[in-house]
Amino acid sequence: RFDSIAMAAPDAILGLTEAFNADTRPDKMNLSVGVYKDASGVTPIMKCVKAAERKLIEDETTKGYLTIDGLPDYREAVREMVFGDQVPSERVAIVQAPGGTGALSVAGGFLARQCSGGPGGPLRIFVPTPTWANHNAIMQDAGLLVENYSYLGSDRRTLDFDAMLEDLRTKPKPGEVVLLHACCHNPTGVDPTAAQWKAIASVIAERGLLPLLDFAYQGFGDGLDQDAAGLRTILDHVDEAIVCSSYSKNFGLYSERVGAVGLVTASAEATKASLSQLKKVVRSNYSNPPRHGAAIVATVLADADLTASWKEELETMRLRITHLREQFVAGMSEQAGAPDFTFLLNQKGMFSFSGLTPMQVDELKNKYGIYIVGSGRINVAGMSEDRMDWLCSAVADVIGN
């Protein structure tokens, strides 16, 4: 029975980290998976997180199950952070989920069951080209039909805004879902401007589309508040929306699996019914979420000092990434014959498309032990200041060949 099972294709990103870990070269460098590293190459535990954990060890009284929708203090903290005063609390249903991935999966399950795709077909969700590969897999598994809208221009470094807007105007039918990266687009680092967000929000509102915002990198672009600006613009224009947030990156809680679905409805009654249906999706999947990571986030955000320390540490991470971008661009400009990389300075968050071809990506891996994703996506947060010259000359070498 199991003898005839075929191998699944490895994850294009996580598979590379497995290869990286197996690589015995001491000077290897992993610029593939989207994980922040500090100057010593470590993905650190934030100080505010350690402090919250110490407090939890002292104060926690039970490991009993959480309710299906998760820890109340965490849900309230998420509501506050994502929706603040903008949407009245009776119009927001929040469900804690295992990471942003879990949040997307719960949202997908909810949409597939509760929102109609019209006669003769499943509900469609429109994702940008390109997008995080998991978006397609998660939404397909949930039972939605995944379609694309234009996003990145043919220069592979700027937004083709006209094409994007035209697609949003003409492709999805009223009621269908549009997935937007709220900030720090993965894999390109290309985000809409404030004026472009307004135009996107207008089209979504005029056409009666349902926006689903994937909010996985808040604080890594221009700052915590600034990174929520696009989301705020969308919420200003619509009565209904879904926000899938993740605290993996901005709390450094990758392995603790902390995320949430925030569903905005038009009425208190709709919120109650929607929450009950979100919980039904959770119940038959993982029953109820894990406590520890959510308790950390709730503890940090309930304490003014820990919150201040969190904001400071997050800002340090953000500025480090910005600095690494600048250093890389400057380093490449000193390499004779290398192309201009200044476009990287306009891009936000951990990622950018470098423009490297699959062959150059392969050569970087084989010759130098530098791992980047086949599409040419680099994780700037994985670079190292000390080894920037080495990295730039390696990149220049493979481009020159």
263 strand-pairing partners: 93, 242
Q: Pick one of ligand TYF, ligand PLP, none as the site partner of residue 246 (Cβ within 5 to 8 A by kind).
A: ligand PLP
Site for ligand TYF, rule CB under 6 A: 11, 13-14, 33-34, 132, 134, 186
For 283, list phi and psi in degrees, rounded to 5. -55, -45
Mode of pairing for the β-strands spanning 241-246 and 259-264: antiparallel
- Give the interface segment with ligand PLP, choosing from 98-106, 190-198, 270-278, 352-360 (CB under 6 A): 98-106
Using CB under 6 A, which of the segments 46-54, 72-80, 99-107, 384-392 binds ligand PLP? 99-107
Task: Report d(CA 335, CA 216) in Å as an integer.
Answer: 34
Give the x/- contact pattern for ligand PLP in 30-69, rule: CB under 6 A. ----x-----------------------------------
Binding residues among 321-350 for ligand PLP as defined by CB under 6 A: none
Strand (E) or helix (H) holding 150: strand 145-150
Answer yes or no whether residue 132 interacts with ligand PLP by CB under 6 A.
yes
Instruction: Find which of ligand PLP, ligand TYF, none residue 320 binds, CB within 5 to 8 Å per kind.
Output: none
Residue 186 lies near ligand PLP (rule: CB under 6 A): yes
Choose from ligand PLP, ligand TYF, none: what does 13 bind? Cβ within 5-8 Å by kind: ligand TYF
Q: Is 354 an interacting residue with respect to ligand PLP (CB under 6 A)?
A: no
249 flagged as catalytic: yes
- Residue closest to ligand TYF, measured at CB: 34
Whose tokens are 């610029």? That residue is 31
Tell me if 246 contacts ligand PLP by CB under 6 A: yes
Tokens of 84: 């603040």
| Contact criterion met (CB below 8 Å) for 214 and 227 | no
* Candidate list 167, 197, 249, 310, residue with the active-site label: 249
> Is 13 or 398 the residue whose CB approaches ligand TYF more closely?
13
Residues in region 272-291 near ligand PLP by CB under 6 A:
none
Closest CB 294 distance from ligand TYF, rounded Å = 19
Residues 125 and 137 sit within 8 Å (Cβ to Cβ): no
**Contact set for ligand PLP, span 190-219 (CB under 6 A):** 214, 216
| Residue 310 found at the interface with ligand PLP (CB under 6 A) | no
Give me the least distance between CB of 133 and ligand TYF, in Å please: 7
Q: How far apart are CA 328 and CA 319, in angstroms?
A: 14
Q: Which does 262 bind (CB under 5 to 8 A by kind): ligand PLP, ligand TYF, none?
A: none
Q: Which of 201, 149, 179, 184 has the alpha carbon at shortest distance from 346? A: 184
Report the run of H or E that residue 378 belongs to, with start and end: strand 377-379
Q: Does 99 bind ligand PLP (CB under 6 A)?
A: yes
Distance between CA atoms of 270 and 260, rounded to whole angstroms?
19
Mind giving me the DSSP string for 178-216? EEEESSS-TTT-----HHHHHHHHHHHHHHT-EEEEEE-
Cα–Cα distance list, 365 to 15, 77, 90, 358, 392 (Å): 14, 42, 52, 11, 14
- Which residue's CB is nearer to ligand TYF, number 150 or number 186? 186
Between CA 121 and CA 144 the distance in angstroms is 9
Q: If binding means CB under 6 A, how many residues of this protein chain bind ligand PLP?
A: 12
CB 48 within 8 Å of CB 309: yes
The yes-or-no answer on residue 47 being catalytic is no
214 a catalytic residue? yes
Q: Which residue is associated with the tokens 């890389």?
A: 328
Residue placing its CB nearer to ligand TYF in the complex, 30 or 233: 30
101 binds ligand PLP (CB under 6 A): yes
With a CB cutoff of 8 Å and minimum separation 6, the contacts of 365 are: 19, 371, 372
Minimum CB–partner distance for residue 249 and ligand TYF (Å): 8
Question: Could you tell me the two tokens for 7?
Answer: 């191998």
Instruction: With CA atoms as reference, report the closest residue to 391 among 368, 366, 359.
Output: 368
**Chain position whose Cβ is nearest to ligand PLP:** 99
Residues engaged in binding ligand PLP (CB under 6 A) = 34, 99-101, 132, 181, 186, 214, 216, 246, 248, 259
Residues annotated catalytic, as ranges: 132, 214, 249
